[in-house]
Amino acid sequence: MRFYTVQHRYYCGIDLHARSMYVCVLDHKGRTVVHRKLPTEPEPLLRLLKPYRRDVAVAVECLFCWYWIADLCAAQGIPFVLGHALYMKAIHGAKAKNDKIDSKKTAALLRGGLIPQAYVYPPEMRATRDLLRRRLHFVHHRGQLLAHIQNTHHQYTLPAPGKRIAYRSNREGIGEGFEDVSVQTSLAADLALIDHYDVVIRDLELTVVQPAWRQW
């Protein structure tokens, strides 16, 4: 794990949310210079940081909405640190927790050289990474549906399908061995969703792979 250890005159910690953020700025001696709630917009943040722009670093925990702050800091020449969410929780986890406290803790970790760094993905790579994460999410759901079909056979002490039902050609006749219509309907719903996920996952994969093929 890498830690940010560069020294600055001011250290800014931000507890970031979709519509608001709590901003704390500490000086090099650990004194609180400003501690304020702001709307999640570039201009209010830049106005707040203006008196400290000569030597300030900004740290944000790695949550879903950090992209714009990373890009803003890069454009303004402000050092930006993305804190690893899991390791930050392990370091400064406490019972007393709210946005105001968390922003000050983030600034304090940054000042003390104890903030664990996450990788700041370049802007041109983020959309592809997010798309691959979405694909993985769908793959997990598809796997749960396949497992439910297998488990239902075990639940009713019926032989599990003999072939891998991950392949569409091996799903013929699934559910026909059950007498209860409700069970048949449940498995039919699983199969319908699996068929749909097959199409969605394939299309997502083609979106990623085809540009690579063209470049190759």
**DSSP count for the chain of H helices, then E strands:** 6, 5
DSSP string, 134-199: HHHHHHHHHHHHHHHHHHHHHHTT-PPPSS-TTSGGG-TTTTTT---HHHHHHHHHHHHHHHHHHH
- Distances in Å between the alpha carbon of 20 and those of 15, 51, 58, 65, 150? 9, 21, 16, 11, 46
Q: Where are the domains of the chain?
A: 10-112, 123-215
Angle between helix axes 123-155 and 67-76 (nearest 10 degrees) is 160
Domain 10-112 class in CATH: alpha beta
Segment 90-99 mean pLDDT: 67
Answer yes or no: are the C-beta atoms of 187 and 152 closer than 8 Å.
Answer: yes
Alpha carbon of residue 74 to chain centroid: 21
DSSP category for residue 117: B
pLDDT tens digit sequence for 45-73: 999 999 999 999 999 999 889 999 999 99
Answer yes or no: are the C-beta atoms of 96 and 49 closer than 8 Å.
Answer: no
* Torsion of the alpha carbons at 153, 201, 119 and 77, rounded to the nearest 10: -150
pTM: 0.82
pLDDT tens digit sequence for 100-143: 999 999 999 999 999 999 999 999 999 999 999 999 999 999 99
Segment 94-99 mean pLDDT: 68
* Residues in CB range of 93: below 8 A, 6 or more apart: none
pLDDT tens digit sequence for 164-180: 899 988 998 898 889 99
Instruction: Reduce the DSSP state of residue 39 to 3 states and report it.
Output: strand
Q: Please, what's the largest Cα pairwise distance for the chain?
A: 75
